[in-house]
Amino acid sequence: MNLRDLRYLVAVAEHRHFGRAAQACFVSQPTLSTQLKKLEETLGVTLVERTNRRVMLTPEGEQIVAQAQRILVEVNSLTAMSEQLQDPRGGELRLGVIPTVAPYVLPRLLSSLRAVFPNLHIKLTEGQTDHISRLLKQGEVDVTLLALPLGEENVDEFPIYDEPFFYAVPHDHPLADRARVSTGDLEGQEVLLLEDGHCLRDQALEVCQAHRGIESQNYSATSLETLRQLVASGFGTTLIPEFAVKSYPHAGDHVPPIRYLPFDGKAPSRQLGLCWRSTSTRKDLLRDLAAQLRDMMRPGAPSEDAPRA
């Protein structure tokens, strides 16, 4: 028995599919299946019930997986502890980040963090909230950057920035000539949203429902870039977070295909923050990292000394 085989088992439990589990572990499916068979022989129990349609864990398998997850978390903690002892502000840090933040925030932030933490090697994993939160609990990532609140047990949350939404409309939309809009202007408007699984979808849907906007039933998107193209083509309107708006190229002297309109008063927004396990051995580093990120996102903001549990 070795840690690699335990990781294979945990991956099968997570994906309930040998092919996807093998892909996540960067091995071939036959290799993963063979190693799981050897693990079953070593333990003397059947861990996985194999059928043509799906993969299920046996009751014994469920218990072994739970223990394997605890073992892997402890091994990852041991590795992190050794790195911390060698250099408290160095070593590898595994960061999980949601896709509606990653492409718009990370390039600038990572460049700035390199200057502050020159010995820190940040390894990135991009995924939806449920996925990276599961990796956090399993010890596969050390910290996540996402929309709060997460509300998970034994996870600390450190708020960083309240990111306002802009109202994105086609250039020929009746509201396009406005300098600003109100949330009341959403009433009766067809609003394009991301597909299920994105936390931004839930946040935008809540805003729409509160102000009588109409969710588009004809289109849903897998990314903010797809939403942007749909709006530019006149298929509806949408809500776009501030950092995504700032990252879009300007059209120069040409008429821009989209107008990004700020909201009057208190704009609809989402709160971005870092999350880490309450038992993390690198809390001091993570607090420093969170404080740096907060200063980079909103310079001059007042400091908060401790995360919210």
- How much is the pLDDT for 214? 92
Kindly write down the DSSP assignment for every residue of 219-242, as one continuous string: EEESSHHHHHHHHHTTS-BEEEEH
pLDDT(137) > 80: yes
Q: Which of 24-33, 118-127, 264-273, 295-304 has the lowest mean pLDDT?
A: 295-304
Mean pLDDT value across residues 204-213: 91
User: Which letter does DSSP use for residue 60 in this model?
Assistant: H
For CA atoms 15, 148, 240, 246, give the dihedral sign: negative
76: amino acid identity, one letter: N
Rounded CA gap, 190 and 238, in Å? 8
Asked if 197 and 128 touch (Cβ cutoff 8 Å), the reply is yes
Q: Tokens 């911390």 identify what position?
A: 84
* CATH placement of domain 85-160+271-297: 3.40.190.10
CB atoms < 10 A from the CB of 210, how many? 11
pLDDT(106) > 80: yes
Q: Which of 30-39, 52-61, 205-214, 266-275 has the lowest mean pLDDT?
A: 52-61
Rounded CA gap, 43 and 24, in Å? 24
pLDDT(133) > 70: yes
pLDDT(45) > 80: yes
- The bridge status of strand 120-126 relative to strand 269-277 is unpaired
- How much is the pLDDT for 84? 63
Report CA Rg, the chain: 23
Q: How many helices (H) and strands (E) does the chain have?
A: 10, 11
For the segment(s) 3-75, the CATH number from 2.60.40.1940, 2.60.200.30, 1.10.10.10, 3.50.50.60 is: 1.10.10.10
Rounded CA gap, 159 and 74, in Å? 27
CATH 1.10.10.10 domain span(s) along the chain: 3-75
Rounded CA gap, 169 and 270, in Å? 20
For the segment(s) 162-269, the CATH number from 3.40.50.20, 3.20.20.140, 3.40.190.10, 3.40.50.180 is: 3.40.190.10
CATH 3.40.190.10 domain span(s) along the chain: 85-160+271-297, 162-269
